[in-house]
Amino acid sequence: MWLNQMGGQVLPSSNDKVNQFNVGGRKAIVSALLALTVLLATMHAEQAYALCNGGTTVTSTVVISADCDGGNVKGLTLDTGADVTINTGVTVSNDAGFGVNGRAVVVLGSATSTSLVNNGTIYTYNQWGLWNQSGGNVNVVNFGQITATVRYGISNQGTITSLTNVGSITGGFGSIGNITTPAPSINVFNNLQGQSGSASTPVTLVGYLPLSYNIIIQDPSTYGQLTTPNQTGAMAFNIYGNTGTTLVAGVNASIVAENRYLNVLNGFSSLSTVTGVEGTYNGFQYSLVANETLANSWDLLVFLAGPSMVDTQASIRNSAQKLRSVF
């Protein structure tokens, strides 16, 4: 301290001010550290709460009714017996720069029978939205969105017994990656994603073709489209709802009309590996024909079924008999 010569007041010295600052500064630092500790504890508690199914692997019937995130630790994980439904408006997410801990939904390789119905959103930025490990077996119905910004929306290294998509599957690498050794399998793929009004966003499948591909048609401007760059294997084509297909709960059979449905298959230089390229459905005939402008693309031509040769010959015989009876 020092004495003010003018008024005789005792004023604080510079050392006193430094000491006061140090005391106040220490208090501020302690308060900040306490606040940070509380914040970190809260964040940890919230992250643990937000882990999908509490971080426990699913082996029974579970409904995901609130947003959840794997926290770069563990995505929503399914094993044998899992029957999972993600509700409308719910987002299941996860992310990591690399590593399996960043995948949003994981079907373990030990899973012999699992089911996933997505009405909401499955999302990851860097990783795979849905990963079916080698040996895994899953049935998937997607009414919502499965999105991976960088990689595949779905990466299949095992067996997808049936994949029904009436929502959207997108990814930076492609919608679906079906390319590993040993060869993975998508036994049945029912698909509506593709043409919607004037917009076209086909499913892009990289690798092995599904064993059976069934196009879903809602109306002349809403129907499935499949793009398969560098595809491997063979595929049976059909219209969803036709003989030889199985209807999925909540997904109505196709409704067709006389129409040329454009670019339903893309990336095929020929149809030598595709069976079922023509047939009948609900009184119509259909045939896959080359697109008139886009190379390696095929349209589905649907037209009214005319009388068969057998029917025509039978009609001629019947008419001839009637004429003979007249004379």
The CA distance from 78 to 116, in Å, is 9
Position with higher pLDDT, 231 vs 79: 79
The vertex-152 CA angle with 149 and 155, nearest 5°, equals 150
- Residue 322 has a pLDDT of 55
The Cα diameter of the chain in Å comes to 149
276-311 residue pLDDT tens: 999 999 999 999 999 999 999 999 999 998 765 444
Element (H, E) at 77: strand 76-78
The CA distance from 299 to 28, in Å, is 71
What residues have CB less than 8 Å from 30, skipping those under 6 apart? none
- Residue 101 has a pLDDT of 78
7-64 residue pLDDT tens: 445 445 555 544 554 545 555 555 655 554 444 433 433 343 368 999 999 999 999 9
Number of residues that make up the chain:
327
- Residue 47 has a pLDDT of 41
- Residue 100 has a pLDDT of 73
86-112 residue pLDDT tens: 999 999 999 887 777 789 999 999 999
- Residue 215 has a pLDDT of 98
The CA distance from 311 to 305, in Å, is 12
From residue 319, alpha-carbon distances to 12, 254, 309, 314, 326 in Å are 126, 38, 15, 9, 11
Q: Percent of the chain, pLDDT > 70?
A: 78
Question: Across residues 155-182, what is the average pLDDT?
Answer: 95
Position with higher pLDDT, 225 vs 6: 225
- Residue 307 has a pLDDT of 64
Per-domain residue ranges for the chain?
2-40
The CA distance from 276 to 118, in Å, is 30
- Residue 318 has a pLDDT of 61
The strand order across the sheet containing 91-93 reads: 68-69, 91-93, 121-124, 145-148, 168-171
Q: Of the candidates 180, 242, 254, 168, which has an alpha carbon nearest to the alpha carbon of residue 212? A: 242
pLDDT above 50: residue 213: yes
Q: Are 110 and 139 in contact (CB under 8 A)?
A: no
Amino acid found at 150: V
Tokens of 320: 């001839």
136-168 residue pLDDT tens: 999 999 999 999 999 999 999 999 999 999 999
247-282 residue pLDDT tens: 999 999 999 999 999 999 999 999 999 999 999 999
Element (H, E) at 39: helix 14-50
Q: Percent of the chain, pLDDT > 90?
A: 71
